[in-house]
A and B are shown apart, each in its own frame.
Chain A
Amino acid sequence: MEENEKKAPEREKQLVCRNASLGYEGQTVTEGLDFSVCRGDYLCILGENGSGKSTLVKAILGLRPQISGEIEWCGGVKANEIGYLPQQTVVQRDFPASVREIVRSGCLAKTGLRPFFNHEEKKLAESTMKQLGIDSLAKRCYRDLSGGQQQRVLLARALCATRKMLLLDEPVTGLDPRAQLDLYELITNLNKQGITIIMVSHDVAAAVRYASHILHIGSHRQLFFGTTAEYTASGVGQSFLAAEETYGASAPSEEKEAEADE
């Protein structure tokens, strides 16, 4: 709590969501979403499958507008300036593209009507690859990389698109525990460099360990929004963390996926 107040004066809001209802084809998936994200925050969005996490991601990205309420961008961030790390699609798994090609495609929005990348954009791609430690992979084919390396490539692409805010959709799903840890550390480092992070996850333990703020969505409504300290002290947080300990974390299902992948 105290820490939160100390930070208060320098905190500039980037995304405000007021009483938003989300859904599709006239069906409401979740309603009463009320939260805000400030510069430098690390917000973790938790929720069970089907609680509307992906719908919220689509709404934040502006791919599917909310049914009612407001989602507003401020503090110099525009709706189209988010570095997005999507869940992997089937198409990508066997896509013949080099790492460099993929990272460069993050600069696409900067090119506008210009057909090719200019010198600066190419340099940005190179330096971002170096920053994430994948510069040695630049010529490798994406489909030949490990899951953790693939996520780094997609993260580098997102960083080429923007340095303001990253939106990560279940980034560690399907990775082995070691790669999960690496990725979490990497994300925390980026956050320390001042990049706002919004991460969708169902890994409560990791969220509490790394995030500064937690948004927990239950079925059809928002269960909790606040700092991580408040979350662990709250009834919702305690019950979920307790469940986690009892059943040995929600990780088992993810580990199974990771095994199936290899």
Chain B
Amino acid sequence: MSEQLSTLRYYLEFDFVRYAIIVGLLISLCASLLGVTLVLKRFSFIGDGLSHVAFGAIAVSSVLTFGLRAIGSEATGRLAEVLSENNHTVIVLPLTVLAAVLLLRTGQNTKIKGDAAVAMISVGSLAIGYLLMNRFPSSSNISGDVCSTLFGSTSILTLKGSDVVVCSVMAAIVIVTFVVFYNKIFAVTFDESFTRASGVNAGLYNLMIAIITAVIIVISMNLVGSLLISALIIFPSLSAMRILRSFRGVVICSAVISVFCAGVGIILSILYSTPVGSTIVAADIAVFLIFSFLSLFRKGR
């Protein structure tokens, strides 16, 4: 144990480890906040769908970068640098937001219903993304690239100070928005038609939820990769819902669970050199099982 503690202390002296922990905790906090709403609105899979869109967008952006570099002039070269900075956020974020808005709008008036639309966009972008990556490889190690995009790369451990700042700012925006609009988000989640009928602009808040979801997914790509983001979004809130009976309780509890699991996951992954994303998700699953077990002892159902 003491040996592990000293290993941990040794690692914690490095900036990049501290950065990883800060970013990991912030991301998991954001994801769990929105998770409650998404699970209750029956949009658990939107995280999955959007992260695949983000994957496709990364592929598009890499290909663009590659193409621009190939042209070779100074201007295009600089453009390519801009694109590839911060894991292609310049292209990935707008595309993902767009997809989120389209998906969450699938209410009454669409030909393709919610879950089908999510599935379609999800697998569609996955396929196109992989196709592009394969056809126009941006590095020699394609399968490594794909794998790290899907399962979260070690890039969480190669964060620069500026990445941490960007991530913290985005996380702060998400958290502040959530707190300020908490009552509105609750109303829209519980009963959209009533909220609309009483004169609240429910469409606006739905749009806001969509945009925040997209932002969270893009910033959490680094941490757990696009296949595991759903876990970060749904597990904490599902665990909290097992035990707690009020919306506020569920939100607070899922935030605590999520941050705790992310912390434990990151530390374990450092100690035992396991993949960061999978370890965090494994911690989330463990907590979910424990809470499910505890819920058996509650009165009532």
Q: A residues touching B (Cβ–Cβ < 8 Å)?
A: 24-25, 61-63, 78-86, 89-92, 95-98, 101-102, 104-106, 108-109, 111, 115-117, 139-141, 144, 154, 157-158, 161-162, 167
Contact = CB atoms under 8 A, between A and B. Distances in A.
Nearest to A88: B191
A158 B194 contact: yes
Contacts of B250: 96
B113 interface: no
Given A91-B41, A98-B245, A105-B187, A84 B194 contact: yes
Interface in B156-185: 179-184
Interface string B282-301: 00000000000000000011
A96 B246 contact: yes
Report whether over half of chain B's contact residues are helix, strand or loop; otherwise say mixed. helix
Contacts of A115: 179-183
A25 B197 CA distance: 21
Contact of A97 (B193, B195, B196, B246): B246
Contacts of B197: 61-63, 80, 82, 84, 161, 167
A105 B199 contact: no
Contacts of A90: 42
Contacts of B244: 96
B245 A141 contact: yes
* Residue of A63, A81, A102, A105 contacting most chain B CB atoms (<10 Å): A105
A96 B179 contact: no
Given A63-B193, A80-B199, 11 more contacts: A80-B198, A81-B199, A95-B247, A96-B244, A96-B246, A101-B246, A101-B247, A109-B199, A117-B183, A139-B246, A161-B198
Interface in B180-219: 180-184, 186-187, 189-191, 193-200
**Residue among A24, A81, A161 facing the most chain B CB atoms (10 A cut-off):** A161
Interface string B211-241: 0000000000000000000000000000001
Given A97-B246, A101-B246, A144-B300, A84 B190 contact: no
Contact of A116 (B183, B191, B195, B246): B183
Contact of B183 (A80, A82, A111): A111
B78 interface: no
Nearest to B251: A96
B248 interface: yes
A91 B40 contact: yes
Interface of B: 40-42, 109, 179-184, 186-187, 189-191, 193-200, 241, 244-250, 300-301
Contacts of B184: 108
Contacts of B300: 144
Nearest to A78: B199
B247 A98 contact: yes
Contact of B187 (A96, A98, A108, A162): A108
Contacts of A139: 246
Q: Give the residue among A83, A85, A111, A115 with the most B Cβ atoms within 10 A.
A: A115
Nearest to A112: B200
Nearest to A116: B183
B251 to A, nearest CB: 10
Contacts of B186: 97, 101, 105
5 contacts: A81-B199, A96-B246, A98-B245, A108-B184, A139-B246
Given A63-B197, A108-B195, A101 B40 contact: no
A4 B249 CA distance: 52
A134 B42 CA distance: 29
A78 B199 CA distance: 9
Nearest to B41: A91
Contacts of B200: 108-109
B32 to A, nearest CB: 14
B193 A96 contact: no
B183 A106 contact: no
Contact of B193 (A86, A102, A105, A144): A86
Contact of A105 (B181, B183, B249): B183
B82 to A, nearest CB: 36
A158 B197 CA distance: 10
Contacts of B245: 96, 98, 140-141, 144
Contacts of A162: 198
